[in-house]
Structures are given as structure tokens and as C-alpha cells.
Structure 1
């Protein structure tokens, strides 16, 4: 099971379908383990199968008792073309009780749902959270800054959008995103079924019309791909990276 989960995590960006097969293989061995159902949900989301992602996320939440995947639930509702349901899901949790990375990811997802409804100013307002600090970089900062830039572009405020886009790039560089170091795990091809569809886990949830909805191709969704990564991010225990602004650098040179 652990090997399949590790492979799912390693392959999710480059080969989501293969990652999903590994998650399904893990579910056949330990279908009642929360992290396994979480992996099935995340890989289904990455493939654009939002109906399956929702079903598995609800099962994960029931087993674990945790709301730490609420942002992915909200984005999956968006992926199925239901921004109203997405906002209802978001409002169903106590955001003050969520860990900071989860709370930030939820703000990004809610902003996206507002965009889906054409509510641009409200979309911007969803991102007005204490973590929106252009001078500090936590793991969630690049996605948060990018989300703000996107809304500002939609509002026609291009200069402000360019500022936040640049802040996102600086934050990403400061955090070392894009480094080539990674763990390589040998793929266990022989353990996978010939027909990956035959191994879909039984969620344990009653089948509903929503759960049975057809999958939406990943390219057709307005969902932000960064949510998968950001809703799992943890704050750097050593503290945030401090991002120097151009004005500060100019002042230092003048001295």
C-alpha cells in the first residue's frame, strides 16, 4: 500500500492517470484507510473526474473527521459547474479552526467560485486575508499572489496584476520551487490491474445523481491546478522567506 501511495504522489503531475491507478491499487488493499481514500480523491481530481473526487473526498472526511480537504471539495464542485454549491460547501466549515494552509487554499477556491459567477469584486474580496503579504513568502504565497493577479487582470487593473504576478514569481524563487531534487521510486507495474477501471473503490456513500455525473475533462474546468498542491502545504517551521521589494533595494543602494 505504502509503495502505491508513494508512486501516486510522485506521478500525479506528470502522469495523473498512472497515479490514479496506483491510488486504486492501494484502495484495494486498504480501502478503509483515510489517506488511501484521500489519494484516490486527489488523483481523480487531477484527471478531471470531479464526481469521483467529490465522492472520495466525502468518504475521506467521514473516515478522518477532518476538513483539511475542504478547498478540494469546493474546487471539485466548481469543476462540475456548480459554483453555488461550492460556496455553500465553503461556508459549511469554521474557517477560523482550519490550519493556515487550508484556510488560504479555501480562500483561493472561494475566489474562483466567485469568478465563475461573474462576481469580480467579491472574488477579490475573498483574497483579502491576513496571509496576503507581498513581503513574506510562505508555501501558500505563490498561489495566493497568483490568484489575486488573475482577479485584478479580470478587473482590468493590469498594473496591480503585474505587481502581484511578479511577487508570486519572487516568492516561488525564494521558496526554492522548481528545484530538481526529488525522490525517485521504482514503479510497481506488475502490481497494477490490466483494467484499471475494474478496481474503482466502493466509497461506502449512497450513490446520488451528483456522484453519477459524467467526468469533466481537466482542460474544461476553471479550477486552479495549484489548489492540489497548496491545500496540502505546511508552513515553513523556520519562518517565512522575506521578500525584498525593488524600493527597498534602491534605498539600500542609495545609502
Structure 2
């Protein structure tokens, strides 16, 4: 296996206490090694997701029975667009931990695999009913994206209008998604909507970047006050 380098000053102690504690089932030396690769995966996932994925794969090979290791493998696979692999890993994380905290990402993987209907099924599942407000909002953003994938733009906007963002970052993402859907609806109405849908934040960035000048696009604004269908 190609093992990426780790700076000498990176230690496993940089891993949060709970995650580090879950590595106790490994030998001491192996736990430290796995922890260092997990630290690197966490540091790199935003700026260099491919390298983060490589670190997570090393950790997976050396500690694959630990849920936080599988979680890192899932998150980095998702970040690099390996949606089928990410889906398998997220399901393993759920089996090991009993948590559905990543249900929104599971649904988004289904979108990435071209199965928006499956994403909608996940959002209506029993597992989705117990999500905390933050996780529920994340799932609703995926639902809006799935509706847009199906060209159900009015339903997508209605989902966004019902979201109660829990912080400023989520509120910003909801606003961005709303703009994207309105732009996409305008392009669809004019027959100019092309390309395959992407997932999560990529969907927002990708759809906006595909529009040369948003101000020149005829945006369709739907009146949803009397529409109760989601």
C-alpha cells in the first residue's frame, strides 16, 4: 500500500479524546499510527481530499474494525466522489456505532449515484425521524437537491422554505440552494438546463458556476403559499 508521509510533529494526541479512546482495541503502537493518519485525513479533507482519502485508507487497513476509522474512510470517499464506496462505509459506521448521524450523507451518496428517488425514501424512513435539528436540516437540503434532480423545482423550493436553519452557515447554504434552484428552474423552462446533477455543496457550486452571468438568467419564482405538496 502507498503510505503517505506524515510530518514528524503530528501525533495521535491531536485526535479528539473520544475518537482516541475508541482506538484502545488496537495495540498501542498501531493505535498511535492509525490516530496520526486520522489526524492527517481530518486536516486535509477540505484542501486536498484525495490525499486525505489515502491517509484514511491506511488507517482503514490497520484499524478497520473501529467505527471512527470507518467514518474517516466514508467521509473521505464522499469528499472525493467515490459515492458507492462512501455508501458502503457509512452503512458500516451505522452498524458499528448504532448512530444515524450521517444519514444526510447517505442520502446524498444515493443522489451522487443517480438515484434521487432513493434519497427521498431515506428522508422518509424511520431512521430519519430521530435526527437532531442540525442533522435534519442537512437531510432536508439533500431532499431539496433530490427534488431538483427530478426537475421538481417547486417542491424543492417548498422544502427549503420550511427549513429552520440552526446557525448562520446553514442559513447561508439554504439561501444558496434556493438561488441555484431558481436559476435551474429558469434554465429548465427555457430548455437550457444541461449536465448531470452533483451532490451537496458541489451541486450549489457547480450549478452556479455553469451560469455565466446569473443576472442575465430569467429566474422563475414560484408562489408556493397554496402548495402543500413536498
Q: Could you say which TM-score interval applies, normalised by the shorter chain?
A: 0.5 to 0.7
RMSD over aligned Cα, in angstroms?
A: 2.3
Larger RCO (alpha carbons 8 Å, 6+ apart): 1
Q: Which residue of 1 aligns with 2:51?
A: 18
Distance across 2 between alignment mates of 1:88 and 1:49: 21
Aligned to 1:62: 95
**Which residue number corresponds to residue 36 of structure 1?**
69
1:9 has 2:42 as partner: yes
Shift of 1:128: 2.5
Report 1:215-254 matches (<5 A).
Answer: 221-225=197-201
Q: Secondary structure at the match of 1:140?
A: helix
Question: What's 2:138 paired with?
Answer: 105
Can you list the C-alpha shifts for 1:41-66, whole angstroms capped at 9, x where unaligned? 11111111111010001111111111
TM-score, normalised to structure 1, is 0.59
Which whole-Å CA distance do the structure 1 matches of 2:44 and 2:196 have between them? Answer: 22
C-alpha distance in structure 2 between counterparts of 1:120 and 1:220, whole Å: 15
Residues 31, 37 of structure 1: 8 Å contact kept: yes
Unaligned runs of 5+ in 2: 1-33, 187-194, 204-230
SS at match of 1:56: helix
Q: Write the distance in 1 (CA, Å) between the matches of 2:146 and 2:196.
A: 15
TM-score w.r.t. structure 2 length? 0.65
Answer yes or no: is 1:142 the counterpart of 2:172: yes
Q: C-alpha deviations, 1:140-183, integer Å up to 9, x for none?
A: 22212211222232344xxxxxxxxxxxxxxxxxxxxxxxxxxx
CA distance in 2, matches of 1:92, 1:17: 32
Residue 121 to residue 226, structure 1, CA distance change in 2 (3 Å) = same
Q: Are 1:104 and 1:144, in contact at CA under 8 Å, matched by a contact in 2?
A: no
Aligned length: 163
**Distance apart, 1:97 and its partner CA:** 2.2
SS at structure 2 position matched to 1:67? coil
Match of 2:181 among 151, 163, 166: 151
Counterpart-to-counterpart distance in 2, 1:96 and 1:84: 18
Alpha-carbon contact 2:122-2:128 (below 8 Å) kept: no
From the two aligned structures, give the one with the greater helix fraction: 2
Contact 1:67 1:93 in 2 (8 A): no
Deviation of 1:226 (Å):
6.6
**Structure 1 gaps, min length 5:** 157-218, 228-255
Q: Structure 1 pair 17/130, CA: closer, same or farther in 2 (3 Å)? A: closer
Partner of 2:158: 125
